Amino acid sequence: MFVPMQAQFVLVVQSVLLGVMLAIFYDVLRALRICFAAKGWQVALYDVFFWIVLLAALFEFNLVFATAQSRYYVIAGAVGGMLLYFGAFSGLIQPRLQMCLNAVIALWKFIVKMSLKLYGWLKEIYYTPKDKLFTKKII
């Protein structure tokens, strides 16, 4: 089957963008791993999750965009996109990703702390012990 040169070029550009997106996904997982101080089996779990997503993305990309035909330049383009991202942008984006994750975690801790304070305050106001329900007031 003949595929026009323009279609092949578009497919290579799309595969490079797929590689960049997969590299960004890996950077997000790496920031999560650093932020939560993952050790041992947790790191392996992050890596297995990344490889499952990567294989699913490549499979879907080959089905949808490459018309279910194995084209090695698709994999080469994805690898090239990942290398491009890791070489040019990862060093700039990784610290900002970690900063954003730390901010989200700090916000979450603040929300939980305030929710617990509100719960304690409401409990003091609305909680009546059972022994006070049936006592008779003496005037």
Low-confidence ranges of the chain (pLDDT < 70): 1, 128-139
Look at residue 96 in the predicted model and tell me its pLDDT: 92
Look at residue 134 in the predicted model and tell me its pLDDT: 59
Query: What residue spans define the domains of the chain?
Result: 5-93
Look at residue 133 in the predicted model and tell me its pLDDT: 57
Look at residue 121 in the predicted model and tell me its pLDDT: 85
Contact 17, 81 (CB under 8 A): yes
How many other C-beta atoms lie within 10 A of the C-beta of residue 34?
A: 13
| pTM as predicted | 0.75
In 3-state terms, what secondary structure has residue 69? coil
Residue whose token pair is 């040169």: 5
Look at residue 73 in the predicted model and tell me its pLDDT: 86
Q: Is 92 exposed, middle or buried (0-12, 13-18, 19+ CB in 10 A)?
A: exposed
Look at residue 16 in the predicted model and tell me its pLDDT: 95
Token digits for 11? 């497919």
Look at residue 139 in the predicted model and tell me its pLDDT: 63
Distance, first Cα to last Cα, the chain: 100
